[in-house]
């Protein structure tokens, strides 16, 4: 059977989030001890339960953007075909890119050659080492590298509909022009953000990836459980 590698950041109370977004609230709503007062089950076999409360934006933690996120005419998350969120994938080693660095075409070409996989419609995951260097410290929110517009076009030209990055954005936090997001809008592609553990899939060639969103009505994005299946 395939070995499953979890690429998902754990959802926690007040976890780091994009600098423009409020932190999530994730707290225990009902404890086992507290639920005894509900007198469920039977006297000799009481039934207790635990339940959590969560309040968060759809772009917190490991998530995928809908086409609608950057394009008012694009498909919302519930309209996008499920097939988009799974398929052949490759991880590119870009750990030489520093904090607040830029990922350009030459970087992708070199990483593609190193991976030994010609990118052709793959889901492309970009490992910059950001998560390992920073998470869960606050610095993770404002140090991520970003894709240039040309690099994002390079991905789209190779049939890449979805790519994925560590950290809160495919764009540098110090670049308000959002070059990568604007190319995604114009080329009809999208991406996963806040992936982690990508070091585990570097050098593995082609593998199967799955990151299926929740079915939010007219949603601009959704949290996912991102998984890599290695032979």
Q: Per residue in 105-144, pLDDT tens?
A: 999 999 999 999 999 999 999 999 999 999 999 999 999 9
Provide the pLDDT confidence category of residue 156 given band limits of 50, 70 and 90: very high
Average pLDDT over every residue of 161-182: 97
Give the integer Cα–Cα distance in Å for 194 and 164.
8
Mean of pLDDT over the chain: 97
pLDDT in tens, 25-45: 999 999 999 999 999 999 999
In percent, the amount of the chain with pLDDT more than 90 equals 97
Q: What is the largest CA-CA distance in the chain?
A: 69
Q: Is the pLDDT of residue 70 over 90?
A: yes
Evaluate whether 201 touches 166 at the Cβ level (below 8 Å).
Answer: no
Nearest Cα neighbor of 105 from 165, 158, 151 is 151
Provide the pLDDT confidence category of residue 2 given band limits of 50, 70 and 90: confident
Nearest Cα neighbor of 57 from 219, 195, 215, 180 is 219
Architecture of domain 63-230: 3-Layer(bba) Sandwich (3.50)
Residue 184's pLDDT is: 98
- Which tokens in the block code for residue 229? 């299946």
Residue 76's pLDDT is: 98
Provide the pLDDT confidence category of residue 61 given band limits of 50, 70 and 90: very high
Which residues fall within 8 angstroms of residue 185, CB to CB, at 6 or more apart? 70, 71, 74
- For residue 81, the Cα-to-chain-centroid distance in whole angstroms is 18
Evaluate whether 194 touches 221 at the Cβ level (below 8 Å).
Answer: no
Q: Is the pLDDT of residue 1 over 90?
A: no
Give start and end residues of each alpha helix (H) in the chain: 32-35, 105-115, 130-134, 149-157, 179-187
Residue 19's pLDDT is: 84
pLDDT in tens, 176-223: 999 999 999 999 999 999 999 999 999 999 999 999 999 999 999 999
For the chain, the structural domain boundaries read 25-55, 63-230
Which residues fall within 8 angstroms of residue 195, CB to CB, at 6 or more apart? 7, 8, 9, 62, 125, 131, 164, 165, 166, 226
């Amino acid at each position: 059977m395939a070995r499953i590698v979890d690429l998902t950041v754990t959802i926690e109370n007040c976890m780091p989030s994009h600098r423009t977004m409020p932190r999530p609230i994730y707290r225990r709503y009902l404890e086992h001890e507290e639920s005894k007062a509900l007198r469920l089950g039977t006297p000799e076999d009481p039934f207790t339960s635990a339940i959590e409360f969560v309040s968060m934006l759809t772009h917190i933690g490991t998530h995928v953007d809908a086409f609608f996120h950057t394009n008012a005419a694009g498909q919302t998350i519930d309209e996008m075909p499920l097939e988009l969120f799974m398929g052949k994938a490759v991880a590119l080693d870009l750990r030489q890119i520093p904090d607040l660095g830029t990922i350009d075409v030459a970087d992708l070409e070199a990483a593609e050659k190193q991976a030994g996989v010609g990118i052709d419609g793959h889901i492309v995951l970009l490992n910059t080492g950001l998560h390992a260097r920073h998470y869960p410290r606050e610095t993770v929110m404002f140090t991520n590298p970003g894709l240039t517009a040309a690099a994002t076009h390079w991905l789209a030209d190779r049939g890449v509909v979805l790519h994925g990055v560590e950290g809160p954005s495919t764009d540098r936090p110090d670049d308000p022009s959002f070059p990568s997001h604007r190319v995604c809008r114009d080329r009809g592609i999208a991406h996963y953000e806040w992936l982690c553990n990508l070091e585990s899939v570097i050098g593995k060639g082609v593998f199967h990836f799955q990151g299926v969103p929740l079915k939010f009505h007219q949603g601009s994005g959704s949290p996912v459980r991102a998984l890599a299946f290695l032979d």
